[in-house]
Copies of this chain bind each other. A is one copy, B any other.
């Protein structure tokens, strides 16, 4: 009845393909991926056609035996066939934010329309009014793994940060609200170029070699130049906000935040990233099997979910 291996058939994306030669012949090591994450695969003695035709980013139908070890799985591939674009839907392979793209589009436009500073508003309109860019922006994840790692994740991240930033600008009335809101909207623009969304999410070459901070400054610099009379100091402040938004050198900012708006941007970014990441961990495991989640490597801890709500006192999770 219980079996240690299973014959399976799955449609997945090729994320890596490496070849090795052994004394007993050649084999290929694959990394496949879909919405549920990565899966390793091994194929012994590949045909010439498989060597030549199967490439990274291809969608393939694989058959083989699923083996488990230490709670992880691996497929020993017996057959692998490349599918044409008509045979699959990309949404199968990459998770999508549960917030509607058009809803996010509208929210972002509303935020922009509330910017009083004309230079900043024109800059934002130039960026988010560019349809081609906006389409890419609305599809972009906010990270390869961890928080907001889904189609639409970047827009959701920016939208949630904007809601918090509005309140922050009220609480600290000395802050330049327009500058802070603009910083929220543009701080991660470089992610549109750093991450490539094909049949899976991965870094682009320039993403790895330059990083989204550098790419974001370049992108914004281009837009500001095209706006006549854009004040030099305002440009300096915006570029500083992008450069410093990771908060410290060891987190990848070449410069620490040195304006009140840059400091707030960093803390709001941090708060949303950690909050959304934690909520994704809590949502993932359904139904619940205990009071604690599995070990979360990126946080180096377990998350306590607690006893089932008893509902009699209006509180959640108690």
Q: Which residues of A contact B (CB under 8 A)?
A: 1-4, 6-10, 17-19, 22-25, 27, 29, 40, 42-46, 56, 64-74, 76-79, 116-120, 160, 163-164, 166-168, 170-172, 174-176, 178-179, 205-206, 208-211, 213-214, 217-218, 221, 231, 233-234, 236-237, 239-240, 243, 249-256, 258-260, 263-264, 267-268, 270-271, 274-276, 278-279, 282-283, 289-292, 294, 300-304, 306-307, 313-318
- Least CB separation from A76: chain B residue: B4
Q: How far is the CA of A203 from the CA of B45 in the complex (A)?
A: 37
Q: A3: which B residues are within 8 A, CB to CB? A: 44-45, 76
Q: How far is the CA of A243 from the CA of B304 in the complex (A)?
A: 15
Q: A56: which B residues are within 8 A, CB to CB? A: 290
Q: Are B291 and A2 in contact, CB atoms less than 8 angstroms apart? A: no
**Number of identical protomers:** 6
Main secondary structure of the interface of A (DSSP, over half): mixed
CB < 8 Å neighbour of A267 from B221, B259, B271: B271
Q: Are A4 and B306 in contact, CB atoms less than 8 angstroms apart? A: no
- The minimal Cβ–Cβ distance linking A11 to chain B, given in whole angstroms, is 10
Would A24 and B7 be within 8 Å (CB), given that A67-B69, A254-B254, A255-B210 are in contact? Answer: yes
- Least CB separation from A239: chain B residue: B210
CB < 8 Å neighbour of A116 from B213, B250, B290, B315: B315
Q: Are A240 and B163 in contact, CB atoms less than 8 angstroms apart? A: no
- Least CB separation from A287: chain B residue: B19
Q: Are B164 and A302 in contact, CB atoms less than 8 angstroms apart? A: no
Q: Are B208 and A258 in contact, CB atoms less than 8 angstroms apart? A: yes
Q: A118: which B residues are within 8 A, CB to CB? A: 313-314
- The minimal Cβ–Cβ distance linking A279 to chain B, given in whole angstroms, is 6
Q: How far is the CA of A75 from the CA of B68 in the complex (A)?
A: 10
